[in-house]
Structure 1
Amino acid sequence: MKQLTASRALVMTSHPLPAAAVTAVAAGLAVGSDRPLASAVLATAAVFTGQLSVGWLNDLVDAPRDASVGRTDKPLAAKEIPPAAVRAAFIAAALAAVVLTLFSAPLAAAAHLAALASAWAYDLGLKATAFSVVPFAFSFGLLPVFLSNGDPFPPPWLVAAAATLGSAAHFVNVLPDLADDAATGVRGLPHRLGPSVSRFATAALVLATSTLLVFGPDGTPSPLALTTVPVAVSILVVGFLLDNRPRSRAAFRAVMLVALIDVALLLHIGISAT
């Protein structure tokens, strides 16, 4: 029973929902590219193990801060699992991510290794600086390069859309923890901008992603794609208008909904679009 509890705590420590979400998007893009199926599966596995390594490293670095603010939702900070187990899981996941990445073409493999290094750098200290958003923009922006296997090289607008969506993910991920982070000395870009400005910045980023995905590809956008921009604007406007109530999360939910629309649009367009 004790071993089962420790295993469950390790899974919780790995941030399964973000890892699963990024992996699901990666799988859709890889399968929709010109990669053979086996190659797409290996690339998706590389993304998944990479995401696990980033989550485990993040909790290892944050454990003392999480414990100081009483984060009971963090198994490592709550001492439900020993640091050595998480450290071993991080090393195993990181090695697996690197090995799986090397099955891709050289340019694609280099892109994913650079993205992983950027994400680990965020965990190791960049998260507490004014440049905290840079690793998200850089790593997410390189994802289409990796998943396309570099052939054909993804168009600039797709790389930019992935970067803006990744930047929005950073703000969305940090916003609920601003108070706890501030109490432990973490001052990334969202902390420096403050909650109100950060919410507007997140809205602008997801809207920029929508615009890039609709108007970036050559040719006339489809009627379905064209509707996403006014729909996104309407959702954000309503969300922010309703956000003036005490403890309201309307703006946050509006941003999340538009981000989901962006992801669906990205999968619909595909990584090989020009």
Structure 2
Amino acid sequence: MPSRIAGPRPDATGALATDGSGRRSTALRLLAASHPLPAAAVTLFAAALTAAADRGLAGAAATVGAVAVGQLSVGWCNDRADLGRDRAAGRRSKPLAAGTLRPRTVTCAAGLALLLCVPLSLAAGLAAGAVHLVAVAAAWAYNLRLKRTAVSWLPYALAFGLLPAFITLGLPGAPWPPAWLTAGAALLGASAHFANVLPDIEDDLATGVRGLPQRLGARRSACVATLLAVGSAAVLAFGPPGPVTAYGWTLLAMAAALAVLVGRSPAGRLPFLAVMGLAGADVALLVVQFKS
């Protein structure tokens, strides 16, 4: 005979109650609904750039805090906006789609994080804060509308391209980053978009999401993701003044090998993993070049 277990209880809508120990469960489910891995990756990327720029403790705390809160708001917005499609696709791993988290809870969390992002962003400096808020607004626009259009890649390119500016504009004199650095980051962001949707293209099409990768299909999107990652590597290797570093040549060789690999086998999960691996290597070079 099943025993009664104390803890969260489903309400009339199937969402779990938050009294008692249920509050901890709600917090964990909120974390799961925030897309924690991409949010952590972008936040760590910003932290590495901030450390390379030597912003100081106060500046680093404001910058990294703003990025972290902004990413939480974007993740929660994404899951709330995709609730109907996630349910239709049977994505039970998502707390909202599984009914273990109330939609209102996620809506409030997204709005609160967005509000908190404003003062944290502006604490890094007026110009820097404005740039970061534009990047966050682009991500929200993607979630709410642009992911279903042919310009679905644009918010990714814009948000990633503006991230170095968010760091440098908080420095004395508020300098803009060099054009090659912005271009390399933007290409990296666009590549991440094409690679990120590869595993879910069929489900996306079935639920009415027709961004540019879905319109191109998995094979062509894998090739586009690869070309963009290769382009980012080339810009970051050849853009700075002076000779190309040993790491730059190594990255270019990796990019060429990846292009051949994806060209021969553009279907399946391998292109996604390979492109994301190259993107990680691009990030490392971006941080090194940013510091120099």
With the length of structure 2 as denominator, give the TM-score of the two structures: 0.88
Across the aligned residues of Structure 1 and Structure 2, the Cα RMSD in angstroms comes to 1.5
Do the aligned residues in 2 keep the contact of 1:34 with 1:148 (CA within 8 Å)?
no
**Structure 1 residues 116 and 225: CA distance shift in structure 2, 3 A:** same
Tell whether 2:284 aligns with 1:258: no
Return the match for 1:92 from 95, 112, 115.
112
Q: Indicate the residue corresponding to 1:17 in structure 2.
A: 37
Q: Indicate the residue corresponding to 2:13 in structure 1.
A: none
**Structure 1 residues 239 and 193: CA distance shift in structure 2, 3 A:** closer
Name the amino acid aligned to 1:101.
Answer: S
Give the 3-state SS of the residue equivalent to 1:152 in structure 2: coil
CA distance in 1, matches of 2:54, 2:94: 40
CA distance in 2, matches of 1:78, 1:34: 44
Unaligned 5+ residue runs, structure 2? 1-6, 9-21
Name the amino acid aligned to 1:14.
Answer: S
CA deviation vs aligned residue, 1:180-216 (integer Å, no higher than 9, x gap) = 1111111001011111110000000100010011000
Unaligned 5+ residue runs, structure 1? none
Any residues of structure 2 matched to 1:162-173 within 5 Å, and which?
A: 162-173=185-196
Q: Indicate the residue corresponding to 1:175 in structure 2.
A: 198
Percent identity for Structure 1 against Structure 2 = 46
Give the 3-state SS of the residue equivalent to 2:138 in structure 1: helix
Any residues of structure 2 matched to 1:3-82 within 5 Å, and which?
A: 3=22, 4-82=24-102
* Alpha-carbon shift at residue 179 of structure 1 (Å): 1.1
CA distance in 1, matches of 2:127, 2:241: 25
Q: Indicate the residue corresponding to 2:18 in structure 1.
A: none
Do the aligned residues in 2 keep the contact of 1:31 with 1:37 (CA within 8 Å)?
no
Give the 3-state SS of the residue equivalent to 1:208 in structure 2: helix
CA distance in 2, matches of 1:269, 1:174: 28
CA distance in 2, matches of 1:137, 1:161: 10
Number of equivalences: 269
CA distance in 2, matches of 1:176, 1:250: 10
Any residues of structure 2 matched to 1:227-266 within 5 Å, and which?
A: 227-242=250-265, 248-266=268-286
- Bigger relative contact order, structure 1 or 2, given CA contacts below 8 A and separation 6+? 1
* Alpha-carbon shift at residue 26 of structure 1 (Å): 0.3
Name the amino acid aligned to 1:217.
Answer: P
Do the aligned residues in 2 keep the contact of 1:236 with 1:254 (CA within 8 Å)?
no
CA distance in 1, matches of 2:282, 2:102: 38
Q: Indicate the residue corresponding to 1:102 in structure 2.
A: 122
Give the 4+ runs in structure 1 shifted more than 6 A: none
Do the aligned residues in 2 keep the contact of 1:240 with 1:250 (CA within 8 Å)?
no
CA distance in 2, matches of 1:119, 1:251: 24
Name the amino acid aligned to 1:9.
Answer: R
Name the amino acid aligned to 1:222.
Answer: T
Name the amino acid aligned to 2:124.
Answer: S
Name the amino acid aligned to 1:82.
Answer: R
CA distance in 2, matches of 1:220, 1:155: 17
CA distance in 2, matches of 1:243, 1:194: 11
Do the aligned residues in 2 keep the contact of 1:57 with 1:120 (CA within 8 Å)?
yes
CA distance in 1, matches of 2:242, 2:43: 30
Q: Indicate the residue corresponding to 1:197 in structure 2.
A: 220
Do the aligned residues in 2 keep the contact of 1:239 with 1:253 (CA within 8 Å)?
no
* Alpha-carbon shift at residue 242 of structure 1 (Å): 4.7
Name the amino acid aligned to 2:220.
Answer: V
Return the match for 1:142 from 135, 139, 162.
162
Name the amino acid aligned to 1:102.
Answer: L
CA deviation vs aligned residue, 1:212-242 (integer Å, no higher than 9, x gap) = 1100001112222222101221133235435
Name the amino acid aligned to 2:189.
Answer: G
With the length of structure 1 as denominator, give the TM-score of the two structures: 0.94
